[in-house]
Amino acid sequence: MTKPVLMDHDGGVDDLLSLMLLLTMPHVALRGVAITPADCYFEWAAEATAKIFDIFGRHDILIARGDLHGVNAFPAEWRAQPRIINALPEMLVRRIDALPLASVPAREFLAQQLAAASEPVTVLMTGPASNLAAALAAHPELRQNVAEVVWMAGALDVAGNVRIFAHDGSAEWNVFWDPVSARKLLEMRLPVTIFPLDATNHVPVTLKFLQRLAQQRQHLLSNLAGQFWATTINTIPHVDFMYHMWDTLATGYFGCPQAITFRKMEVTVVDSGFNAGQMILAPGSGQWVQVADTVNVPMFHDYILQQFNQDC
């Protein structure tokens, strides 16, 4: 049985790897991709997205441009990563004469896709909540058409990954970029599954894993995924930071949920102040969500390697 999915990503390397992973899943019917200009510059992220579609022979999927902007910008050097991705050899030989762009902004595109769906749709968000929150605020009747929101977001019992002036470090970037939309989305009482840093901290991108991936580099997807992850080395700003499979873990949930344990928590988001974007427990007043907790790392790694052990 196929699962209809809409993806909303924000163009980072992990987002693009997640798109590749999602397209390897035969039971997932990807209905469209929205791109939020958060951890990317839209044009480069859209080009990389279209080239990934081309690798999979998927020329039937539209890309929608997000026209909303958060209040807390991602670092410019992170946003430029898709340009490096587009310069990789396999990506350079993919000629895109015209991007498959939707005629409406991402927020309206999501609304149109939900309205046209013959069954409830799962929305995978590997970036901020802005587009979906705006779509459902404008069209509240469409909330019943959302089967589940799967979102890489938040930090609950661990430190956040925001390290900037005038912030206490408690927030995760996807929430911090637009904390008001994050709070509003949670207040809509949708079925939500969150992959916070608490879970993604279990799956750093280690050289040991990349060496295993390199052993199957004769396959296009493994070779390309290895190159994608290699570009993240220069984004590490200090010694205690490591790139993790943030979005990849959330996406892997669609194909290997048995590798992840969950707990139910009632949460909300702080939308202003020195801890803006912090996701906190809110007993009695928050949104009950399913929160990813622990990861069977060997099982998850084996799944990723299996999915990328193929050519297109």
| DSSP string over 39-92 | SS-HHHHHHHHHHHHHHTT--S--EEE-----SSPPPHHHHTHHHHHHTSHHHH
Place of tokens 């220069």: 234
Range of the domain at 27: 3-307
Q: In 3D, which of 123, 126, 112 has the Cα closest to residue 148? A: 123
| Per-residue confidence (pLDDT) for residue 236, from 0 to 100 | 57
Residue 71 lies in a domain: yes
CA atoms within 13 A on the CB side of 220: 12
CA–CA distance from 55 to each of 27, 48, 295, 301 (Å)? Answer: 19, 11, 30, 23
DSSP state of 214: H
- Quote the pTM value: 0.97
In which element (H, E) is residue 123 found? Answer: strand 121-125
Residue 124 lies in a domain: yes
Give the residue ranges of DSSP H helices in the chain.
13-23, 42-55, 76-79, 81-86, 89-92, 106-116, 130-138, 173-176, 179-186, 197-200, 207-214, 220-230, 246-252, 297-307
Residue 276 lies in a domain: yes
Straight-line distance from the first to the last Cα atom of the chain, in angstroms, rounded to the nearest whole number = 22
Residue 32 lies in a domain: yes
**Which parts of the chain register pLDDT below 70?**
234-241
Axis-axis angle for helices 106-116, 130-138 (nearest 10): 60
Q: In the chain, what is the greatest distance between 2 CA atoms, to the nearest angstrom?
A: 55
CATH code, 275: 3.90.245.10
Residue 42 lies in a domain: yes
Q: Count up the domains in the chain and report the number.
A: 1
Q: What is the pLDDT of residues 260-288, one digit of tens each?
A: 999 999 999 999 999 999 999 999 999 99
In which element (H, E) is residue 8 found? Answer: strand 3-9
Residue 123 lies in a domain: yes
Cα 206 to Cα 85: distance, rounded to the nearest angstrom: 20
Axis-axis angle for helices 220-230, 13-23 (nearest 10): 160
Q: What is the pLDDT of residues 61-92, one digit of tens each?
A: 999 999 999 999 999 989 999 999 999 999 99
Bridge-based pairing of strands 146-152 and 192-195 is parallel
| Per-residue confidence (pLDDT) for residue 95, from 0 to 100 | 81
Residue 312 lies in a domain: no
Both tokens of 261, joined, read 């344990």
